[in-house]
Structure 1
Amino acid sequence: MDAFRLLTRSTKFKSATPATESAARLPSAGKAANPQLFRTEEGEKLELAQSNKKRKRAPVANNEDGDDAPELDFFNSNKRSAPAATEKSTAKPDQQQASAQDDGSDDEEAMDEVQRRTILNSHKIKVTDLRDLDEIQSQPAPAKDSKKKKKKSKQEEAPTLSKKEMKRARRIYPQPLLSFKELRSKYKISSRLAANVAEQGFTVPTEVQLGTLPIMLGGSSIATENQAEPDLLVVAPTGSGKTLSFLIPAINKIVRHHHTKPDEHGISAVVVAPTKELASQIVNEGRKLVAGTGVKITLMKKGMRVVEQDEEGDANVLDEESEGSDESDQEEESKPKKAENKSPLTKSDILLVNSLSANQTKPLGKLPLVRSLVLDEADVLMDPLFRDQTLDIWRSCVHPDLRVSLWSATMGSNIEDLTRSTIKERLENLGQNSDKLYPLVRLVVGLKDSAVPNIDHRLVYAATEQGKLLGLRQLLRPTAAAANDIRLRPPFLIFTQTIPRAIALHSELKYDIPAEAGGSSRIAVLHSDLSDIQRSEIMRDFRKGEIWILVTTDVLARGLDLRGLNGVVNYDIPNSAAVYVHRVGRTGRAGREGGIAVTYYTKEDIPYVKSIANVIDASEKLRGTDGKKSIQKWLLESLPDLSKKDKQELKKHGVKARQVSKNLGKDENEKGSRAARISTKSGYERRMENRKRGAIAASRNRKAEGGAVGNESDGSWDGLDD
């Protein structure tokens, strides 16, 4: 089968959409391309009114083509003489477009609070100031109506506020970004950066871009004096465009710094990602945006030196896992440290760091020029298992104007408290006054910690491990399934709980695809025990369509943008609801519909299903399935609740039936491994096979013993044989 043809039909859109409009839904094809998952008609009308209002203010004199006039930017024509305007109107189209990008729109009318609130609410965007109420109320507030002043006076008289009143006091409504053209006209980003964004086909921002870009570009009312950007916590669905949201401000800040201080070069931004695959993906996306801007983006590798030598004379490098064998590691350890110091200093502006490694990493050393720190998938980076590595990188950034942003689809309240305490601790270590903190802002898109609503979720009870494998084989052979069964076409991902289970499942499915369709080459397994070269080759073949089915662990559960992915199969139930959100988020990217998420569970998994069922139920409510739900009310009521202790144990170790504990005896581990074995063979068939093997081994032993007895001699003379 042709891989290109397979990937081109990998997504399914609504039946009401004509075939001629399918191309317009691609991510690089305009307004319909963006994942506006929560947009309402009221918000669209207001956005259209705002855009029309701006266009009416542009002079259209001496222009016969009225349709093309709104595409040109004449907002600054009142600052120029009339001949200059006529010369611009008679210029070539390419020159007009270039001048339209360079011209600003300083005289554009800003939206009032009611309009901003309407647009943000229509996209289900909530922006909250996480500072204390005393700090927020001390800031000068704009004049309001008399009724609101009366409410304020009542609140001042009351000693305490209710939870609702505290939430309302912290809610803020920044200026939204209605079009990517405003990045150049209103926020004055680099012209080359704006051109690179336009070349990628981005025109209308997604929800997370609509809310975060104005805040991070310094043109928001959230900022304190001097209109500086705040520290930011962002919770947005998977596949909603978070990478573009933090790359554009970071690149623009570096370009401005190069213009103001051309002699000062060095690492100005650090982006931390949990996996090497995600870090490589961010680098590839960043290189498209930095083309022609003079900004260089680099992926951190083993032995790379990013700062000058410290006072002790040792170069500061980040030791990641080696791609070679143990022999190469021993050779590197035998080399003196001076050989490492001879590595050249990395000349880069943006550094991508993969902080999650098996061994503890050495600190980066002091990075005095870093002004932007981005933590992608922050809930994993702030997990206790990897928190020390992340905080070491954070503390290495010693610039007083450092701004940090944390991004994820799932983020608990403990991350907010940890972020606030880390910011204060860092300022105290630098000798600065912690009372003068920049605001810490949280932006949430949609329901917090929820899956995107454009995915079809299926929760399937398989009873046993053999039932799960049989159900998975039905997905590989959809023609053999019944009419009402799940239909899932490759390519798709299969997630397991542990690396041994991923390897065993790959061995079991290796020959399920016919040879004429590619055979075993169409199925692969990827996990953290493989080398970086092997992982890169597998991901390259999977993106090219040469691999159709990829068995993996949670190493690929976060951040990866696999646009041609038709579905996700949770062969083993996720360790938490957050892991489920990230796993199923590999499909349904950029607002695409037709993605399927299948989750199998057995009788051992029943205590852990309710949290996942709640996520599915919330996603279906957002989607509006008109009563057709995969999670019925009786199922939610009958599933048991999990205690907090059990949730923590599940998050750390997974389902007990599939884990091998060091504390258990050998017989108990063998019994548990037999119960969780990935195979379709029954116990009777395995006993017969074991008996057959035992009989063959006993026969060989008897023959060996008989031969040994026949060859034995006591040394006496037996005479000659006749």
Structure 2
Amino acid sequence: MAEGSSSSSSGFDELGLSASILRAVREAGYVQPTPIQRDAIPPVLAGRDLLGCAQTGTGKTAAFALPLLQLLDARVGDDPCVRALVLTPTRELAAQIGESLSTYGRHLELWHTVIFGGVSEGPQIQELRRGIDVLVATPGRLLDLLGRKQVNLDRVEVLVLDEADRMLDMGFLPDVRRVVQALPRRQQTLLFSATMPEEIRRLAQGLLRDPVSVATARISSPVESVEQQVYFVDKVNKRRLLLDLLGDVAKRRTLVFSRTKHGANRIAKLLDDHGIRASAIHGNKSQGARTRALEGFRRGELAVLVATDLAARGLDVDGITHVINFDLPNEPETYVHRIGRTGRAGATGVALSMCDHEERDYLRDIESLIGRRIEAVDDHAYPPSGQPPAPAVAPRPRAGGGRAPAGPARRGSGRPGRGRRRGGRRSPS
């Protein structure tokens, strides 16, 4: 969501949202809805199915979370049950949606929980047994609990499929269809996808009834608020160049992308050895380690988060000023997803990419997709030269000693939790 002047006539108060939700939105510091929020919220409140084509960073989570909470609050009953299901492809995105529900539903008498794999299922099952209104889940863990009759979806009124194309890429569509079979025949359905490949169109046609279609900039169109530059460099000098780029304090809320998990670990260690607090996040990390890294990055205890493409979608961290592509992705669409982590919700951002000789074809594919040349920076210290490999980078001593502690996990972040109204139906355990 974009911040703006409260005197504007195009704020959230014109979208039909309740006073309790508007209060929560104001307390979160938001005034102006983004285009996807402005176009999606009224028809969802009217009970329409919705097909949203929106890439990350456009505010789509609030586009479904705000009206979803209002619809459920208007029909709250004494017997809490799962009345809304949000399916999402990754643990990180599920946890972040849970945080959004906590933020926007803080003044409502509604409960939610988040379930995903990679952590103990016991607390998740306990939350389900206590009774919730909104369930946010990844397909695998949900199907497991469904098969063992630990969750009941017979009374779901609203289904949200988020990042549908990502679920397709990860092979989850068969699981999604199995989940849908466990739902009532009729429910309001909202489907969001950054791209619309044919299989997603077929899925939408089978699930949605007379949907309203809303769309933001196409995936081939990076947001205009992101300045893009490319540095041509020999592979052996990439680490040196990265340290130079991160030397500017203005770049100290930076997301660095590596093509491989091992590469991400090596980059994080390099930065840490040179006094730049960093951590890596990828699929081989435990859920606890990933959560601690994300929380440390959000709180500013980590200057840099090094990620594989696991974090290219669904990572929702405010204030990322720079994205650095240490390795160019071999899929041009991935580049657009990566750089969409900055320049979000009206802010400006910078995307810097390193390109060695072997990656020139990847760069050409990216420029072909986005329809323009990316500005090349020629006056840097490590232009490609064909000279022998540079010596290894020697660590600089860190000021103040070792790594700062990540600190305790924040409520609702990266672990199962529920949002509730103060003085709700019962006290939390």
State if a TM-score over 0.5 links the two structures: yes
The equivalent of 2:21 in structure 1 is: 193
Structure 1 residue 553: Cα displacement: 0.9
The count of corresponding residues between Structure 1 and Structure 2 is 379
Structure 2, unmatched stretches of 5+, are 378-386, 393-429
Structure 1 residue 538: Cα displacement: 1.4
Q: Is 1:239 aligned to 2:64, yes or no? A: no
Q: Distance in 2 between matches of 1:349 and 1:582?
A: 31
Q: Is 1:509 aligned to 2:324, yes or no? A: no
- State the Cα deviation string for residues 322-381 of structure 1 (Å, max 9, x = none): 469xxxxxxx9xxxxxxx999971411111113368x98564665111121112222111
The equivalent of 1:692 in structure 2 is: none
Q: Is the 8 A contact 1:457 1:616 kept in 2?
A: no
Aligned pairs for 1:339-358 within 5 A: 345-355=129-139
Structure 1 residue 606: Cα displacement: 2.4
Q: TM-score, normalised by structure 2?
A: 0.78
Structure-2 change in CA distance of 1:534 and 1:363 (3 Å): same
Q: Distance in 1 between matches of 2:218 and 2:243?
A: 35
Structure 1 residue 264: Cα displacement: 4.5
Q: Distance in 2 between matches of 1:341 and 1:459?
A: 48
Q: Distance in 2 between matches of 1:341 and 1:586?
A: 33
Structure-2 change in CA distance of 1:416 and 1:341 (3 Å): closer
Aligned pairs for 1:290-301 within 5 A: 290-300=105-115
Structure 1 residue 28: Cα displacement: 4.5
Letter in 1 for 2:131: K
Q: Is the 8 A contact 1:234 1:408 kept in 2?
A: yes
Structure 1 residue 31: Cα displacement: 5.8
Q: Which has the higher contact order (CA 8 A, sep 6+)?
A: 2
- State the Cα deviation string for residues 205-237 of structure 1 (Å, max 9, x = none): 21111111111111xxxxxxxxx412x221234
- State the Cα deviation string for residues 675-697 of structure 1 (Å, max 9, x = none): xxxxxx967979xxxxxxxxxxx
The equivalent of 2:202 in structure 1 is: 417
- State the Cα deviation string for residues 576-623 of structure 1 (Å, max 9, x = none): 222112111111111112x111122222222322231134445x8xxx
Q: Is the 8 A contact 2:98 2:113 kept in 1?
A: yes
Aligned pairs for 1:8-87 within 5 A: 27-30=2-5
Higher strand proportion: 2
2:21 aligned counterpart, secondary structure: helix
Structure-2 change in CA distance of 1:532 and 1:685 (3 Å): closer
The equivalent of 1:446 in structure 2 is: 217
- State the Cα deviation string for residues 606-654 of structure 1 (Å, max 9, x = none): 2322231134445x8xxxxxxxx6279xxxxxxxxxxxxxxxxxxxxxx
Larger Cα Rg: Structure 1 or Structure 2?
A: 1
Structure 1 residue 535: Cα displacement: 1.5
Q: Is the 8 A contact 1:617 1:631 kept in 2?
A: no
Q: Is the 8 A contact 2:88 2:162 kept in 1?
A: yes
The equivalent of 1:165 in structure 2 is: none
Letter in 1 for 2:199: N
Aligned pairs for 1:610-689 within 5 A: 610-617=364-371, 630=375
The equivalent of 2:410 in structure 1 is: none
Structure 1 residue 29: Cα displacement: 4.5
1:494 aligned counterpart, secondary structure: strand
Aligned pairs for 1:207-246 within 5 A: 207-218=35-46, 228-230=47-49, 232-246=50-64
Letter in 2 for 1:598: L
Letter in 2 for 1:270: L
Q: Is the 8 A contact 2:237 2:390 kept in 1?
A: no
Q: Is 1:206 aligned to 2:34, yes or no? A: yes
Letter in 1 for 2:278: I
Q: Is 1:606 aligned to 2:368, yes or no? A: no
Structure 1 residue 494: Cα displacement: 1.0
Structure 1, unmatched stretches of 5+, are 1-25, 33-47, 52-177, 219-227, 302-319, 325-331, 333-339, 424-436, 479-486, 514-518, 621-628, 633-680, 687-722
Match of 1:588 among 339, 343, 346: 343
Letter in 2 for 1:409: A
Structure 1 residue 239: Cα displacement: 2.0
Q: Percent identity?
A: 28
Q: Distance in 2 between matches of 1:193 and 1:215?
A: 17
Letter in 2 for 1:538: A
Structure 1 residue 415: Cα displacement: 1.4
Q: TM-score, normalised by structure 1?
A: 0.48
Q: Is the 8 A contact 1:374 1:406 kept in 2?
A: yes
Structure 1 residue 241: Cα displacement: 1.4
The equivalent of 2:418 in structure 1 is: none
2:273 aligned counterpart, secondary structure: coil
Structure 1 residue 413: Cα displacement: 4.0
Letter in 2 for 1:506: A
The equivalent of 2:228 in structure 1 is: 457
Over aligned residues, Cα RMSD in angstroms? 3.3
